[in-house]
Structure 1
Amino acid sequence: MTWLRRGEGVITWGVAAECRTSGEARFSDASTWWRNVVRVAAVADEVEVPGSGLICLGSFAFADEPGDSVLVIPRVVVGRRGDRFWVTTIGSAAVETPRLETQDAPEPPVNLVFADGALSGAEWEGVVWEAVLHLNAGELDKVVLARDLIATADAPIDVRWPLRRLGSEYEMCWTFHVDGLFGATPELLVRREKGLVTSRVLAGTIRRTGDDEHDLTLAATLARSSKDLEEHEYAVRSVAEALEPYCTSMNVPETPFVLHLPNVMHLATDVAGVAHDSGASVLELAAALHPSAAVGGTPTKLAVEMIAEIEGMDRGRYAGPVGWMNAHGDGEFGIALRSAEIDGARVRLFAGCGIVAGSDPEAELAEAQAKFVPVRDSLAGA
């Protein structure tokens, strides 16, 4: 498993223990299991930095049903924070420190072929148009619709190949791999570290051209776009309202900034708060935040119901929380965006767009195509 950003984080292998859960209680079941593990664990942690000691990594389904979720305690962890490196071993008895040896470099996928997933592009445009009709009728303010692509190779794909490329080309994102779900998400759902709670909200997107001067003009256009600002405001408001019960104070910036990524630019806002002394764990905070307006819509309950009704596919763990947590309840969970599920020689890629009353189906399809680019390019040959 993997959780990396700008060369820092953890890479793990092996499974010491795991909790698989599903349904509406998936977060609470996983939290209870983790608390029980922590209560009986004997931990020797001389490093004492975020990510050292006893940790677990998890990935959770977007919807209550269907969908499976998992929380995994790895057997071995290699971590880095700044100029400090460490190795953690986890087991039911005394275990020897493993030998760390350089492995052969991963090979690229062989004869990769892409095809539409649940819906073709034209069919998905029809779904977007159906959503716009509901939005224009005033039934809700925003809904996030996703689509998928299927990539198939001639032989099983080594997940290290796309992970290495994502980690180097999208170093400002959080590169992850948990139980077959991998990607590079630009959106940090929540971080809890020593009493400080932070969340990065992304909503409102424009595709980059590769021309720096033109991209600056596009960034300015994005920052003034009433459609994108409206979509972003919904997302920020939903995060702030979800975190408020768990914080003694909060800072919510009035205006977003433009986050520049290699393929797209987003409107972004960093929400911060001070956690209550008896505060919830980072997983419990992630459960309170999910699904935010950024991946569901506004009002969230109605939007999620519409997604289940018209989207036409099972999201699985796409757009659900993914990340790690330590024995103190600190950690980081991102939203599983710019992601894919790998199963042998088959990879299922996901991308989604926020739909509001002024959305154009053709433009939304182009935005979804842009959001496929990171994972799609990571699977390509050298």
Structure 2
Amino acid sequence: MTPAPPRLVSRTVEIPDPGALLDRLPDTDSFVWLRDGEGLVGWGRAAQCDAAGEDRFLDASDWWRGVVAAADVADEVRVPGSGLVCFGGFGFSGDPGDSVLAVPRVVVGRRHGVAWLTTTAPEGESAALPDLVTAYDLPAAPVGLTTAQGALSDEEWTAAVADAVARIGAGDLEKVVLARDVVATAAAPVDVRWPLRRLARDYRRCWTFHVDGWFGATPEMLVRRERGLVTSRVLAGTIRRTGDDEHDLALAATLARSSKDLEEHEYAVRSVADALAPYCDSMNLPDAPFVLHLPNVMHLATDVAAVVHDTGAGANALELAAALHPSAAVGGTPTKAAVRLISEVEGMDRGRYAAPVGWMDGSGDGEYGIALRSAHLDGATVRLFAGCGIVADSDPSAELAESEAKLVPVRDALRGE
């Protein structure tokens, strides 16, 4: 059962540009959502909802609606992300589906040249104003880092991929996304600000995030809702970059013509369009995907756009994310058959990997990405995840290589300079 909504007092004021937002972040209980230097960072907890099970999204959304209805909010900035804001991270599956929605005590944001500070506290408590002038000391790099295979060895995972290919060939399903994990262990607790700074620097066009121990730099926006406009970026179909620009352009052309990757991508776009249809009008689906170039890989990408039915009382960003999860890009097609196969052959609990992570404001606007290129930090242990879309002509060894490429961002971010 979710907790009763607290009564919160929230104040937002415009501030001078605070510089690099990650430099404002203390070393405990932080929240991050950044892309290309803009976004939100926060810390402390004014309120929190823990949710689990199949109803985790609905329970969290109902709690948030109650919090917003009871809150005393003064917002002089009035842009998406100002005012009362919550950050959320959700379990991939409903069992156990451990999830959290948290309201930071302090949020510092920047958007299109406007910067703001939001302080939030339970009614009757004073909200301490943070020092936004003095930057914190640089975080220390992880020391004594070692890595080991996770729930399945490389050989066991490729065998699971071969099993999935056989089941697809038998007509049991069309596509399944199989993930694997790698465990990194340091000699001392890892300061999450270290990998966050490197991810934000090296993957500026991705969304760098941290919520409740889960961090990463996702290239995939599950859903953005902003003043009635709903957008979703679909990524499916991947090829590794070589570092040779001319060769990479040739590889991009190969990816754009690949029947295997185009088929996988079509499944993913179709699943997003079908999920948004009950909530939105005027949907726009481009005729063909484009190739998204990232430092480590290239993806086939499609941006889906629509208009929410009712901008006042319509589905909020979290409810739209719930409708989209799991899309074919992280689960498979048909969804139920794919998720069932994942539980049979993947050999691990995904936790919050490949599930919605992001933020939402009091109007219901917000951004939820898919927790890809991500890891879970617990003291000195970091559990990294990567997944691949498996279709009828997938090659297990090639899929293993693709998963290794997808582990690169977090692996590199954990290393010292």
> Could you state the TM-score of these two structures normalised by the residue count of structure 1?
0.99
1:95 deviates by 2.1
Aligned equivalent of 2:344: 309
The alignment status of 1:236 with 2:266, answered yes or no, reads no
Question: Which whole-Å deviations, capped at 9, do the CAs of 1:192-242 have from their partners, x for residues lacking one?
Answer: 000100000000000000000000000000000000000000000000000
Aligned equivalent of 2:12: none
In the alignment, the residues of structure 2 paired with residue 66 and residue 30 of structure 1 have an alpha-carbon distance, to the nearest angstrom, of 15
The alignment status of 1:122 with 2:161, answered yes or no, reads no
1:84 deviates by 1.1
The alignment status of 1:374 with 2:409, answered yes or no, reads yes
Paired letter, 2:252? A
Residue pair 1:18, 1:71 contacting (<8 A) in 2 also: yes
1:107 is paired with a residue of what secondary structure?
Answer: coil
Aligned equivalent of 1:186: 219
Aligned residues: 382
Residue pair 2:56, 2:97 contacting (<8 A) in 1 also: no
In the alignment, the residues of structure 1 paired with residue 197 and residue 323 of structure 2 have an alpha-carbon distance, to the nearest angstrom, of 32
In the alignment, the residues of structure 2 paired with residue 348 and residue 99 of structure 1 have an alpha-carbon distance, to the nearest angstrom, of 33
Aligned equivalent of 1:61: 91
Aligned equivalent of 2:362: 327
1:102 deviates by 1.2
The alignment status of 1:171 with 2:200, answered yes or no, reads no
User: Which of 87, 90, 93 matches 2:120?
Assistant: 90
1:245 is paired with a residue of what secondary structure?
Answer: coil
Residue pair 2:92, 2:352 contacting (<8 A) in 1 also: yes
In the alignment, the residues of structure 2 paired with residue 88 and residue 272 of structure 1 have an alpha-carbon distance, to the nearest angstrom, of 30
In the alignment, the residues of structure 1 paired with residue 347 and residue 328 of structure 2 have an alpha-carbon distance, to the nearest angstrom, of 20
**Structure 1 vs Structure 2 CA RMSD:** 0.7
1:126-137 mapped onto 2 (5 Å cutoff)? 126-137=159-170
Paired letter, 1:53? G
2:181 is paired with a residue of what secondary structure?
Answer: strand
The alignment status of 1:365 with 2:400, answered yes or no, reads yes
Question: Which whole-Å deviations, capped at 9, do the CAs of 1:36-73 have from their partners, x for residues lacking one?
Answer: 11011011100111111100000000001023100000
Paired letter, 2:45? V
Aligned equivalent of 1:108: 141
Aligned equivalent of 1:336: 371
1:233 is paired with a residue of what secondary structure?
Answer: helix
Residue pair 1:78, 1:88 contacting (<8 A) in 2 also: yes
Higher relative contact order (CA 8 A, sep 6+): 1
Residue pair 2:291, 2:298 contacting (<8 A) in 1 also: yes
1:376 deviates by 0.3
What are the ranges of 5 or more consecutive residues in structure 1 without an aligned counterpart? Answer: none
1:254 deviates by 1.2
1:248 deviates by 1.8
User: Which of 3, 7, 10 matches 2:40?
Assistant: 10
Aligned equivalent of 1:162: 195
In the alignment, the residues of structure 2 paired with residue 373 and residue 121 of structure 1 have an alpha-carbon distance, to the nearest angstrom, of 16
1:99 deviates by 2.0
Paired letter, 1:191? R
Question: Which whole-Å deviations, capped at 9, do the CAs of 1:144-165 have from their partners, x for residues lacking one?
Answer: 0000000000000000000000
1:265 is paired with a residue of what secondary structure?
Answer: strand
1:52 is paired with a residue of what secondary structure?
Answer: coil
1:105 is paired with a residue of what secondary structure?
Answer: coil
What are the ranges of 5 or more consecutive residues in structure 2 without an aligned counterpart? Answer: 1-30
Residue pair 2:105, 2:127 contacting (<8 A) in 1 also: no
Aligned equivalent of 1:46: 76
1:86 is paired with a residue of what secondary structure?
Answer: strand
In the alignment, the residues of structure 2 paired with residue 155 and residue 307 of structure 1 have an alpha-carbon distance, to the nearest angstrom, of 33
Aligned equivalent of 2:232: 199
Residue pair 2:146, 2:186 contacting (<8 A) in 1 also: yes
Paired letter, 1:217? A
In the alignment, the residues of structure 2 paired with residue 214 and residue 321 of structure 1 have an alpha-carbon distance, to the nearest angstrom, of 34
Paired letter, 2:167? H
1:279 deviates by 1.6
1:18 is paired with a residue of what secondary structure?
Answer: strand
1:364 deviates by 0.1
2:234 is paired with a residue of what secondary structure?
Answer: strand
Question: Which whole-Å deviations, capped at 9, do the CAs of 1:83-123 have from their partners, x for residues lacking one?
Answer: 11111100013424222231100010001001000011111
In the alignment, the residues of structure 2 paired with residue 221 and residue 133 of structure 1 have an alpha-carbon distance, to the nearest angstrom, of 26
Runs of 4+ with >3 A deviation: none
Aligned equivalent of 2:61: 31
Paired letter, 2:56? R
Q: Which shifted more, 246-255 or 261-270?
A: 246-255
In the alignment, the residues of structure 2 paired with residue 160 and residue 106 of structure 1 have an alpha-carbon distance, to the nearest angstrom, of 6
Aligned equivalent of 1:293: 328
Paired letter, 2:273? A
Paired letter, 1:179? D
Aligned equivalent of 1:269: 302
Q: Which shifted more, 258-267 or 36-45?
A: 36-45
User: Which of 201, 205, 210 matches 2:243?
Assistant: 210
> Could you state the TM-score of these two structures normalised by the residue count of structure 2?
0.91
1:80 is paired with a residue of what secondary structure?
Answer: strand
Residue pair 1:66, 1:314 contacting (<8 A) in 2 also: no
The alignment status of 1:99 with 2:134, answered yes or no, reads no
2:74 is paired with a residue of what secondary structure?
Answer: coil
Question: Which whole-Å deviations, capped at 9, do the CAs of 1:126-169 have from their partners, x for residues lacking one?
Answer: 00000001000011000000000000000000000000000010
